[in-house]
Amino acid sequence: MEVTFKVYRKDPEKDGKPGRSNYTIDIPEDATALDGLLKIRDELDGTLAFRASCARGYCGECTMRVNYKACFACTAKVSAFTKKAPEILLDPLRNVPVIKDLVFDWDAFMWNKIKALKPWLEPDESLSSGENLLPDSAMQDLRKVMSCYYCGLCDEGCTVLPVDFDFLGPAALTKAYRFAFDPRDKDGKERLKIAEQPKGIWDCVHCFEASEHCPRGIAPTERIMAVRDKAFKVGITNEKVARHHTSFANSVKESGWLDEGRLAIESEGLTNIKGLMKLLPTAAKAMARGKAPIPYLHPKRPGADKIKKIFQKGEQETK
Protein backbone atom coordinates (compact mmCIF):
# COMPACT_ATOMS: atom_id res chain seq x y z
CA MET A 1 0.00 0.00 0.00
CA GLU A 2 1.12 3.55 -0.69
CA VAL A 3 1.25 5.79 2.36
CA THR A 4 2.55 9.32 2.94
CA PHE A 5 4.56 9.64 6.14
CA LYS A 6 4.36 13.21 7.47
CA VAL A 7 7.25 13.36 9.89
CA TYR A 8 8.15 16.07 12.42
CA ARG A 9 11.55 17.59 11.63
CA LYS A 10 13.90 19.78 13.58
CA ASP A 11 17.61 20.20 12.90
CA PRO A 12 19.66 22.13 15.46
CA GLU A 13 22.52 22.39 12.94
CA LYS A 14 20.29 24.26 10.49
CA ASP A 15 17.78 26.83 11.75
CA GLY A 16 16.45 24.63 14.58
CA LYS A 17 12.87 25.49 13.66
CA PRO A 18 10.28 22.72 13.75
CA GLY A 19 8.78 21.61 10.45
CA ARG A 20 7.49 18.52 8.66
CA SER A 21 8.80 16.35 5.79
CA ASN A 22 6.49 14.24 3.64
CA TYR A 23 7.63 10.88 2.26
CA THR A 24 5.38 8.71 0.11
CA ILE A 25 6.44 5.07 0.21
CA ASP A 26 5.10 1.67 -0.72
CA ILE A 27 4.89 -0.67 2.29
CA PRO A 28 3.26 -4.06 3.00
CA GLU A 29 -0.25 -4.13 4.56
CA ASP A 30 1.12 -5.33 7.89
CA ALA A 31 3.97 -2.80 8.12
CA THR A 32 4.51 -0.86 11.33
CA ALA A 33 5.35 2.83 11.63
CA LEU A 34 8.92 1.78 12.45
CA ASP A 35 9.11 -0.32 9.25
CA GLY A 36 8.15 2.81 7.34
CA LEU A 37 10.72 5.00 9.11
CA LEU A 38 13.50 2.48 8.43
CA LYS A 39 12.54 2.32 4.76
CA ILE A 40 12.52 6.12 4.49
CA ARG A 41 15.94 6.39 6.12
CA ASP A 42 17.42 3.59 4.00
CA GLU A 43 15.98 4.62 0.66
CA LEU A 44 14.89 8.28 0.71
CA ASP A 45 16.46 10.41 3.41
CA GLY A 46 19.50 9.40 5.42
CA THR A 47 19.24 12.57 7.54
CA LEU A 48 16.01 11.50 9.27
CA ALA A 49 16.73 10.86 12.96
CA PHE A 50 14.76 8.50 15.20
CA ARG A 51 15.45 5.92 17.87
CA ALA A 52 14.55 2.23 17.94
CA SER A 53 15.96 -0.92 19.47
CA CYS A 54 14.05 -4.13 20.19
CA ALA A 55 11.42 -3.68 17.44
CA ARG A 56 8.98 -5.86 19.35
CA GLY A 57 7.31 -3.51 21.82
CA TYR A 58 9.52 -4.37 24.73
CA CYS A 59 12.02 -1.56 25.23
CA GLY A 60 10.16 1.71 24.72
CA GLU A 61 13.03 3.19 22.71
CA CYS A 62 10.81 4.14 19.74
CA THR A 63 8.14 5.86 21.84
CA MET A 64 6.56 8.63 19.75
CA ARG A 65 3.18 9.99 18.75
CA VAL A 66 1.42 8.45 15.77
CA ASN A 67 -1.49 10.60 14.58
CA TYR A 68 -1.02 12.44 17.91
CA LYS A 69 -1.49 9.27 19.94
CA ALA A 70 1.50 8.20 22.03
CA CYS A 71 2.62 4.65 21.27
CA PHE A 72 5.55 2.52 20.17
CA ALA A 73 6.39 2.92 16.47
CA CYS A 74 7.42 -0.75 16.33
CA THR A 75 3.96 -2.06 17.29
CA ALA A 76 1.85 0.64 15.64
CA LYS A 77 0.40 -0.93 12.49
CA VAL A 78 0.26 1.75 9.79
CA SER A 79 -3.03 0.37 8.44
CA ALA A 80 -4.75 1.13 11.76
CA PHE A 81 -3.91 4.82 11.33
CA THR A 82 -4.68 5.25 7.64
CA LYS A 83 -8.35 4.29 7.53
CA LYS A 84 -9.50 7.83 6.67
CA ALA A 85 -6.63 8.81 4.36
CA PRO A 86 -3.41 7.15 3.13
CA GLU A 87 -1.23 9.33 5.34
CA ILE A 88 0.24 9.10 8.81
CA LEU A 89 1.61 11.78 11.16
CA LEU A 90 4.69 11.05 13.27
CA ASP A 91 5.72 13.39 16.10
CA PRO A 92 7.92 13.25 19.18
CA LEU A 93 6.20 13.05 22.60
CA ARG A 94 4.61 16.27 23.89
CA ASN A 95 6.56 16.81 27.08
CA VAL A 96 10.11 16.38 25.77
CA PRO A 97 13.06 18.54 24.70
CA VAL A 98 13.67 17.52 21.08
CA ILE A 99 17.29 17.09 19.96
CA LYS A 100 16.73 16.25 16.32
CA ASP A 101 13.57 15.13 14.48
CA LEU A 102 12.05 12.30 16.54
CA VAL A 103 15.06 12.00 18.86
CA PHE A 104 14.61 13.65 22.22
CA ASP A 105 16.67 14.16 25.36
CA TRP A 106 15.90 11.15 27.57
CA ASP A 107 18.24 12.43 30.31
CA ALA A 108 16.29 15.65 30.79
CA PHE A 109 12.95 13.91 30.19
CA MET A 110 13.36 11.05 32.64
CA TRP A 111 16.77 9.69 33.66
CA ASN A 112 17.96 12.76 35.60
CA LYS A 113 14.69 12.76 37.50
CA ILE A 114 15.01 9.09 38.37
CA LYS A 115 18.57 9.74 39.55
CA ALA A 116 17.28 12.52 41.85
CA LEU A 117 15.32 9.86 43.76
CA LYS A 118 18.44 7.81 44.63
CA PRO A 119 17.25 4.71 42.77
CA TRP A 120 19.35 2.16 44.54
CA LEU A 121 18.78 -0.11 47.49
CA GLU A 122 20.33 0.86 50.80
CA PRO A 123 20.15 -2.42 52.70
CA ASP A 124 20.03 -2.57 56.46
CA GLU A 125 23.29 -4.40 56.94
CA SER A 126 22.81 -4.91 60.66
CA LEU A 127 19.97 -7.35 59.96
CA SER A 128 21.90 -10.11 58.25
CA SER A 129 25.44 -11.11 57.67
CA GLY A 130 24.92 -12.63 54.26
CA GLU A 131 22.03 -12.57 51.83
CA ASN A 132 18.88 -10.72 52.80
CA LEU A 133 16.42 -13.49 52.00
CA LEU A 134 12.73 -12.72 51.67
CA PRO A 135 9.71 -14.92 50.97
CA ASP A 136 8.49 -14.69 47.40
CA SER A 137 5.23 -13.10 48.55
CA ALA A 138 7.13 -10.10 49.96
CA MET A 139 8.37 -9.19 46.49
CA GLN A 140 5.28 -10.00 44.45
CA ASP A 141 3.91 -6.46 44.38
CA LEU A 142 7.33 -4.90 43.77
CA ARG A 143 8.03 -7.26 40.89
CA LYS A 144 5.12 -5.67 39.06
CA VAL A 145 6.67 -2.23 39.53
CA MET A 146 10.09 -3.54 38.54
CA SER A 147 8.65 -4.72 35.23
CA CYS A 148 8.71 -1.06 34.11
CA TYR A 149 10.89 -0.65 31.03
CA TYR A 150 10.93 3.15 31.11
CA CYS A 151 9.11 3.76 27.86
CA GLY A 152 8.04 7.22 29.06
CA LEU A 153 4.37 6.84 28.15
CA CYS A 154 3.27 7.70 31.71
CA ASP A 155 5.27 10.94 31.58
CA GLU A 156 3.75 11.64 28.18
CA GLY A 157 0.27 11.38 29.67
CA CYS A 158 1.14 13.46 32.74
CA THR A 159 -1.01 16.57 33.23
CA VAL A 160 1.60 18.45 35.26
CA LEU A 161 4.61 18.18 32.93
CA PRO A 162 3.08 20.42 30.23
CA VAL A 163 2.98 23.29 32.75
CA ASP A 164 6.12 22.38 34.70
CA PHE A 165 8.89 20.41 33.03
CA ASP A 166 10.81 20.17 36.32
CA PHE A 167 8.09 18.02 37.94
CA LEU A 168 9.70 14.64 38.61
CA GLY A 169 6.86 12.87 36.83
CA PRO A 170 5.17 9.49 37.25
CA ALA A 171 8.02 7.32 35.90
CA ALA A 172 10.51 8.61 38.50
CA LEU A 173 7.96 8.73 41.32
CA THR A 174 6.99 5.14 40.64
CA LYS A 175 10.66 4.36 41.15
CA ALA A 176 10.32 6.08 44.54
CA TYR A 177 7.55 3.61 45.38
CA ARG A 178 9.77 0.72 44.37
CA PHE A 179 12.27 1.62 47.11
CA ALA A 180 9.85 3.07 49.69
CA PHE A 181 8.07 -0.29 49.80
CA ASP A 182 11.13 -2.55 49.55
CA PRO A 183 11.33 -4.42 52.86
CA ARG A 184 15.12 -4.63 52.50
CA ASP A 185 15.66 -0.87 52.35
CA LYS A 186 17.02 0.40 55.66
CA ASP A 187 15.31 3.72 56.24
CA GLY A 188 11.72 4.10 55.10
CA LYS A 189 11.40 7.61 56.50
CA GLU A 190 14.48 8.84 54.66
CA ARG A 191 13.10 7.31 51.47
CA LEU A 192 9.83 9.20 51.91
CA LYS A 193 11.68 12.45 52.51
CA ILE A 194 13.43 12.01 49.17
CA ALA A 195 10.07 11.43 47.45
CA GLU A 196 8.66 14.50 49.21
CA GLN A 197 11.30 16.82 47.74
CA PRO A 198 10.02 19.85 45.78
CA LYS A 199 8.48 18.77 42.45
CA GLY A 200 7.95 15.32 43.96
CA ILE A 201 4.90 13.35 45.15
CA TRP A 202 2.95 16.37 46.44
CA ASP A 203 3.04 18.08 43.04
CA CYS A 204 1.18 15.14 41.48
CA VAL A 205 -2.50 15.93 40.75
CA HIS A 206 -3.42 12.20 40.78
CA CYS A 207 -5.37 12.55 37.54
CA PHE A 208 -4.76 8.86 36.63
CA GLU A 209 -3.53 9.77 33.15
CA ALA A 210 -0.26 7.97 33.93
CA SER A 211 -2.09 4.78 34.85
CA GLU A 212 -4.18 4.99 31.73
CA HIS A 213 -1.06 5.43 29.58
CA CYS A 214 1.08 2.68 31.17
CA PRO A 215 1.35 -0.30 28.79
CA ARG A 216 2.50 -2.59 31.62
CA GLY A 217 -0.44 -2.11 34.00
CA ILE A 218 1.90 -0.82 36.71
CA ALA A 219 -0.59 1.90 37.71
CA PRO A 220 1.90 4.72 38.43
CA THR A 221 -0.78 7.04 39.86
CA GLU A 222 -1.84 4.46 42.45
CA ARG A 223 1.85 3.97 43.36
CA ILE A 224 2.32 7.70 43.94
CA MET A 225 -0.85 7.75 46.06
CA ALA A 226 0.48 4.83 48.09
CA VAL A 227 3.73 6.70 48.81
CA ARG A 228 1.66 9.73 49.87
CA ASP A 229 -0.51 7.57 52.14
CA LYS A 230 2.65 6.18 53.72
CA ALA A 231 3.97 9.70 54.28
CA PHE A 232 0.63 10.64 55.87
CA LYS A 233 0.98 7.65 58.18
CA VAL A 234 4.52 8.36 59.39
CA GLY A 235 4.36 12.15 59.24
CA ILE A 236 4.50 14.42 56.20
CA THR A 237 7.72 16.46 56.04
CA ASN A 238 6.56 19.08 53.53
CA GLU A 239 5.26 21.73 55.95
CA LYS A 240 2.55 23.28 53.84
CA VAL A 241 1.19 19.94 52.66
CA ALA A 242 1.31 18.66 56.23
CA ARG A 243 -0.78 21.62 57.41
CA HIS A 244 -3.27 21.05 54.59
CA HIS A 245 -3.63 17.32 55.21
CA THR A 246 -3.84 17.71 58.98
CA SER A 247 -6.51 20.38 58.67
CA PHE A 248 -8.50 18.28 56.17
CA ALA A 249 -8.30 15.19 58.38
CA ASN A 250 -9.17 17.10 61.57
CA SER A 251 -12.15 18.72 59.93
CA VAL A 252 -13.60 15.39 58.73
CA LYS A 253 -12.68 13.69 62.00
CA GLU A 254 -14.44 16.32 64.10
CA SER A 255 -17.50 17.10 62.00
CA GLY A 256 -17.82 14.28 59.44
CA TRP A 257 -17.30 16.62 56.51
CA LEU A 258 -15.00 19.30 55.20
CA ASP A 259 -14.80 22.82 56.64
CA GLU A 260 -13.44 24.55 53.54
CA GLY A 261 -12.97 27.95 55.17
CA ARG A 262 -10.91 26.41 57.91
CA LEU A 263 -8.91 24.37 55.38
CA ALA A 264 -7.98 27.49 53.39
CA ILE A 265 -6.74 29.33 56.50
CA GLU A 266 -4.99 26.43 58.20
CA SER A 267 -3.26 25.36 54.97
CA GLU A 268 -1.58 28.75 54.83
CA GLY A 269 -0.82 28.61 58.56
CA LEU A 270 -2.61 30.62 61.25
CA THR A 271 0.47 32.74 61.93
CA ASN A 272 1.46 33.18 58.28
CA ILE A 273 0.22 36.75 57.83
CA LYS A 274 1.64 37.09 54.31
CA GLY A 275 -0.01 33.85 53.19
CA LEU A 276 -3.33 34.78 54.77
CA MET A 277 -3.25 38.23 53.15
CA LYS A 278 -2.87 36.51 49.80
CA LEU A 279 -6.23 34.78 50.35
CA LEU A 280 -8.03 38.07 50.97
CA PRO A 281 -8.88 39.21 47.40
CA THR A 282 -10.42 35.84 46.49
CA ALA A 283 -12.17 35.62 49.87
CA ALA A 284 -13.58 39.15 49.46
CA LYS A 285 -14.91 38.32 45.99
CA ALA A 286 -16.43 35.08 47.25
CA MET A 287 -18.02 36.90 50.19
CA ALA A 288 -19.52 39.51 47.88
CA ARG A 289 -21.16 36.66 45.92
CA GLY A 290 -22.36 35.01 49.13
CA LYS A 291 -20.19 31.94 48.64
CA ALA A 292 -17.38 32.21 51.16
CA PRO A 293 -17.64 29.39 53.70
CA ILE A 294 -17.17 30.88 57.17
CA PRO A 295 -14.35 29.01 58.93
CA TYR A 296 -15.10 27.09 62.13
CA LEU A 297 -18.84 27.85 62.01
CA HIS A 298 -19.31 24.39 60.66
CA PRO A 299 -22.12 22.18 61.96
CA LYS A 300 -21.43 18.52 62.64
CA ARG A 301 -23.00 15.97 60.32
CA PRO A 302 -25.46 13.63 62.06
CA GLY A 303 -23.07 10.65 61.80
CA ALA A 304 -19.98 12.62 62.88
CA ASP A 305 -19.28 10.54 65.98
CA LYS A 306 -19.24 7.36 63.87
CA ILE A 307 -16.77 8.93 61.43
CA LYS A 308 -14.59 9.95 64.36
CA LYS A 309 -14.51 6.34 65.52
CA ILE A 310 -13.34 5.21 62.08
CA PHE A 311 -10.50 7.72 62.32
CA GLN A 312 -9.53 6.57 65.81
CA LYS A 313 -9.50 2.93 64.73
CA GLY A 314 -7.57 3.64 61.55
CA GLU A 315 -5.00 5.68 63.43
CA GLN A 316 -4.68 3.01 66.11
CA GLU A 317 -4.09 0.28 63.54
CA THR A 318 -1.34 2.17 61.78
CA LYS A 319 0.63 2.69 64.98
Partner 1 sequence: MKYAFYPGCVSRGGCPELYPSAVKVSAKLEIGLEELKDVGCTGAGVLPQYLSDPINARTFAKAEELGLPIMTICSTCQGVMSQANYRLKGDPEYRAKINQEYLSEEGLEYKGTTEVKHLLWVLFEDYGIERLKPLLRRPLKGLRVSPFYGCYIRRPPEAITPTKELNRRKNYLDELIEILGAECVDFSGKGKCCGFPILTANEENSLAMVGKHTGEAREKGADCMVTPCPLCHLNLDGNQPRAEAQEGKEIGLPILHLPQFLGLALGFDPGEMNLKRHIVATQTVESKVSMLA
In the complex, the residues that contact partner 1 under the rule CB under 8 A are 159-160, 162-164, 167, 202-209, 211-212, 219, 221-222, 225-226, 228-229, 232-233, 238, 240-241, 244-245, 248-249, 252, 256-261, 267, 281-282, 285-286, 289-291, 293, 301-304, 306-307, 309-311, 313-314, 317-318
Residue 150 C-beta: closest distance to partner 1, Å: 21
Bridge partners for 24 per DSSP? 4
Residue 294 C-beta: closest distance to partner 1, Å: 10
Amino acid at 186: K
Q: Are 120 and 183 in contact (CB under 8 A)?
A: no
Residue 190 C-beta: closest distance to partner 1, Å: 20
Q: Closest Cα to residue 218, out of 178, 188, 277?
A: 178
* Nearer to partner 1 among residue 52 and residue 226 (C-beta): 226
Residue 270 C-beta: closest distance to partner 1, Å: 15
Q: Edge to edge, what strands does the sheet with 19-26 contain?
A: 19-26, 2-9, 87-91, 63-66, 69-72
* Nearer to partner 1 among residue 21 and residue 67 (C-beta): 67
Specify the pairing of strand 87-91 against strand 69-72: unpaired
| DSSP E strand stretches across 19-119 | 19-26, 63-66, 69-72, 87-91, 98-100, 103-104
CA 84 to chain centre: 33
Residue 203 C-beta: closest distance to partner 1, Å: 5
* Nearer to partner 1 among residue 174 and residue 267 (C-beta): 267
Bridge partners for 103 per DSSP? 100
* Nearer to partner 1 among residue 127 and residue 297 (C-beta): 297
* Nearer to partner 1 among residue 148 and residue 160 (C-beta): 160
